[in-house]
Amino acid sequence: MTRLIAVLVVAVLAVPATGVAAVVNDEVTSVKLKEADNNGSQDTNAGSGVKTGHLQNKAVTAAKMADGTITATQIADGAVTSAKIGGTISTSKLNVGTAAGTVSAGNHGHDGVYQRRFANVVVVAESGGDYTNPVDALAAITDASATKPYLVKIMPGVYSTGSTELWLKPYVEVEGSGQTATKIVGMVACVSNTSLRSLAVENPTWHAVLVAGSDVTMKDLSIKGYIAGLYISASSARVDLESLEISEESAGFEHYAILNSGTFDVRMHDVVAILDGPAYGGTGIAIKNNYATNTVMEGVRAVAKGGGTLYGIMNFVTTSVSISNSYVEATGPFGNTAIYNGGTGSSFSGVTAVANQGQQADCHVLVSGSASVDSSKLIGTCPDGVMGSGVLIGSSRVDGAISSGTGVKCVGVYNASYDSVTCL
């Protein structure tokens, strides 16, 4: 009996242990691992091969994966879960590119293939835009408001409106691609709360641009029209004009580069207004402020030339017109007046006004009611350089006589020879 027990003990001790401690380091070779059953099952209690549950999260590091050594045939579908991937996968492990079968980089876009879209932006272009004509683009905007303004961007090209006038809508801005790049042929009308900039407008049959509203801004424009290049109509207010070139070349009873009529608070800055009339007929006025109140003109160049009776600037029944750092000229074969000021409360500072004698005796550099003139040059060959009533002239040059004797007061006034000039 004792012998039998001893044999059993020896037999038990001869059975190899099945715990982890019984496996010597590096003892399990590749040949000892059975190939995965590749059936998609991750059950560690059934089948063969290494399953997901055998791997600790983040157990497989970048150092364990050589480039190109692991392909789809080595990994069962669904075998690598998100939990098994820690950190960032380097680009060396990814096939980065833009062709089919590649992974796009984070800084990759499709701007070269698809047009980038912005909210509340409508693009007009000869090709590739939302519309090919600005009239259609404006017609499509129906929900513009103070809290939802729109921009109509017009790409380079010439766009004719035909017999249809292009009326802007409130809270819509229209922007071209530059005066020499974008041209609209036809009339453009700006209503309240609109903006027009960076393009050219040409209308050979009528006004080129009409302002019929308040809070309107226009900038970086080239405008050429018939009868009037730019017409700012009655009751318009807070109109801001900057960096404009405006011309008009027609004939008529009166024609203008700019007609500012019945308005309030119009500002013109860096505006060039050229009226080039025919050899005869009519009255040509570069800028006419007609029944206008609080008009500010700074850095303006107003030139009337050609035929007919010409005026550089005419203020007709105006209140509070200010002109500063500007050049005004009327030069033609007939009657010429650089500045006609029929308003009250006007002031001129740093203004150069030029008028030359034509075939008619009607020639004046300045004809004015109540106004102040400071640090200015009133130059020309007119026999009567200045005519006025209630005019104050200080520290200025005046060529020709100062006449009418009805209240022109001069302080520090001199002529081209720097001789003192006495008011008559």
Taking only the tens place, the pLDDT of each residue in 355-403 is 987 766 678 899 888 899 999 999 988 877 788 888 999 999 998 778 7
- 69-86 confidence digits (pLDDT tens): 666 666 666 666 666 666
Q: Which helix (H) or strand (E) holds 9?
A: helix 2-14
Q: What pLDDT is attached to residue 363?
A: 84
191-to-140, 188, 214, 262, 396 alpha-carbon distances in Å: 17, 10, 7, 16, 41
> Of the ranges 6-15, 105-114, 371-380, which one carries the lowest mean pLDDT score?
6-15
With CA atoms as reference, report the closest residue to 386 among 411, 359, 406.
Answer: 406
Q: What pLDDT is attached to residue 12?
A: 47
pLDDT greater than 80 at residue 56: no
Q: Which helix (H) or strand (E) holds 11?
A: helix 2-14
With CA atoms as reference, report the closest residue to 244 among 294, 189, 199.
Answer: 199
- 191-250 confidence digits (pLDDT tens): 999 999 999 999 998 899 999 999 999 999 999 998 899 999 988 999 999 999 999 876
Pairwise pLDDT comparison (301 vs 27), residue with the higher score: 301
Residue 129's pLDDT band, with cuts at 50, 70 and 90, is very high
Can you tell me the distance from the alpha carbon of 85 to that of 150, in angstroms, rounded to the nearest whole number?
A: 47
Residue 424's pLDDT band, with cuts at 50, 70 and 90, is low
Q: Which two three-digit tokens encode residue 305?
A: 């030339």
Q: What pLDDT is attached to residue 273?
A: 97
The predicted model gives 107-121 an average pLDDT of 66
Can you tell me the distance from the alpha carbon of 106 to that of 122, in angstroms, rounded to the nearest whole number?
A: 28
% of the chain at pLDDT higher than 90: 53
Q: What pLDDT is attached to residue 127?
A: 96
Can you tell me the distance from the alpha carbon of 230 to that of 223, in angstroms, rounded to the nearest whole number?
A: 7
Tell me what the pLDDT averaged over the chain comes to: 84
Name the residue with tokens 């809290």: 147
Q: What pLDDT is attached to residue 18?
A: 52
Can you tell me the distance from the alpha carbon of 250 to that of 262, in angstroms, rounded to the nearest whole number?
A: 23
| HSE-CB for 206 with a 13 A CA cutoff | 10
Pairwise pLDDT comparison (403 vs 320), residue with the higher score: 320
Q: Contact, 134 vs 152, CB < 8 A?
A: yes
φ, ψ at 5 (rounded to 5°)? -65, -40
Q: What pLDDT is attached to residue 200?
A: 98
The predicted model gives 317-346 an average pLDDT of 93
Q: Which residues contact 279 (CB under 8 A, 6 or more apart)?
A: 306, 307, 333
Give start and end residues of each alpha helix (H) in 15-57.
Answer: none
Task: Provide the residue ranges of all domains of the chain, joining segments of one domain with +.
Answer: 203-411
The predicted model gives 320-336 an average pLDDT of 93
CB count within 10 Å of CB 344 equals: 15
* pTM summary value: 0.74
Q: What pLDDT is attached to residue 10?
A: 46
φ, ψ at 225 (rounded to 5°)? -135, -175
- 279-311 confidence digits (pLDDT tens): 566 889 999 999 999 999 999 999 999 888 899
Residue 96's pLDDT band, with cuts at 50, 70 and 90, is confident
Q: Which residues contact 11 (CB under 8 A, 6 or more apart)?
A: none
